[in-house]
Amino acid sequence: MPIVVSGIRSTGNLHLGNYFGAVKNFIKMQEDHQTFFFIADFHSLTTHPTPSDLHTNVKQVLAEYLACGIDPEKSTIFIQSDVPEILELYLLLNMNAYLGELERTTSFKDKARQQPENVNAGLLTYPVLMAADILIHKANLVPVGKDQEQNLEMARTFARRFNRMYNVETFPIPQAYIFEGKDMVKIPGLDGSGKMGKSEGNAISLAESPASIRKKVMRAVTDAGPTEMHQTKPEVIQNLFTLMEVVSAPDVVSHFDNAYIDCSIRYGDMKKQLAEDIINFTNPIRARIEEIAKDNAYLSKVAKNGAEKARESASKTLEEVRKIIGFRRFY
């Protein structure tokens, strides 16, 4: 069975774009793959979160993924900082990661530009830690978004380099699993910018209150409206329809579609309907998030089991790697 590893940065608050993109696919993958999903709290240290933010965010992400249907019985869900084996592999891989290639990474250059006052070594070696996350479980597949492709390519480089250096086949070369076509519904932002994203500031999160959803949807960008029958929709309008297609009933979508075609559409009405349908869609998820986030006993059980399963897999790989490199214990 193929082994899948994926990490989630612990910044909290999944949005509708995450839900219809990565999360839905993770949930499908856990049925027929051996899946490891983890919360990348070590990675989040590159931006120096406060201790209480760090903890709250990890808890929120854990509750959100569980609420969406990541099933701890089917996949190993764990918190990165519970698995110290990852850090040892990170150190070992660092010895064969070169300054030049790390400096050339796009995500490093972007971050260095975004936070010039804090260009720390953790940022530089971010791809090495990510490679350790992946290689420690000998992953075959890594579901990632487009922005992570280069980091994954580096993980492949480090895997090949290790295998070649010691003339072994320890690490499978992890392949990107990119969701596309019918598996990937790209959810647009409400500002007409194309893609819903947390950093774009145009996202509706799964935990968002109804009042805030209404406010955001009512503020969505539109145009002056169609003036001719059968006009093609400009992007900002198509975006509203795309959102509607994922949360509303088909007859609701066709009602507004027809209204667009014969120029009788009123965007105010459409937005009101869209807001209510988003609320109906997210309500049960939000309730589950809140319920799970309150259940400390459950969260602690999930995290503990996950850590145990992840450490079992990780320590096997690490033992093998230590031996290959030449570490022998004297006791």
- Find the part of the chain contacting ligand TRP (CB under 6 A) among 29-37, 143-151, 187-195, 273-281: 143-151
Active site residue 138: no
d(CA 247, CA 238): 15
Q: Which is nearer to ligand TRP, 7 or 188 (CB)?
A: 7
d(CA 270, CA 244): 9
Q: Which residue is at the shortest CB distance from ligand TRP?
A: 7
Q: Please give the structure tokens belonging to residue 309.
A: 């399963």
Q: Please give the structure tokens belonging to residue 225.
A: 């409206």
265 and 231 Cβ atoms separated by less than 8 Å: no
CB proximity list for 217: less than 8 A, separation 6 or greater: 190, 204, 271, 274, 275, 278
Task: Work out which of 68, 83, 92, 130 binds ligand TRP, going by CB under 6 A.
Answer: 130
Q: Which is nearer to ligand TRP, 3 or 130 (CB)?
A: 130
Q: Please give the structure tokens belonging to residue 264.
A: 């009788």
Query: Does 198 participate in binding ligand TRP (rule CB under 6 A)?
Result: no
- Find the part of the chain contacting ligand TRP (CB under 6 A) among 2-10, 229-237, 306-314, 316-324: 2-10
CB of 220 to ligand TRP, least distance (A): 26
Query: Does 9 participate in binding ligand TRP (rule CB under 6 A)?
Result: yes
- Find the part of the chain contacting ligand TRP (CB under 6 A) among 3-11, 46-54, 219-227, 322-330: 3-11
Active site residue 24: no
For residue 255, count CB atoms less than 10 angstroms from its CB and return exposed for 0-12, middle for 13-18, buried for 19 or more. middle
Query: Does 5 participate in binding ligand TRP (rule CB under 6 A)?
Result: yes
The label of the residue with tokens 């819903």 reads: 196
Active site residue 198: yes
The label of the residue with tokens 């990119």 reads: 178
Q: Which of 140, 126, 134, 47 lies closest to 94, judged by CA?
A: 126
Query: Does 70 participate in binding ligand TRP (rule CB under 6 A)?
Result: no
C-alpha 295: how far from chain center: 23
**Binding residues vs ligand TRP (CB under 6 A):** 5-7, 9, 40, 43, 130, 133-134, 142, 144, 148, 151
Q: Which residues are marked as active site?
A: 111, 195, 198
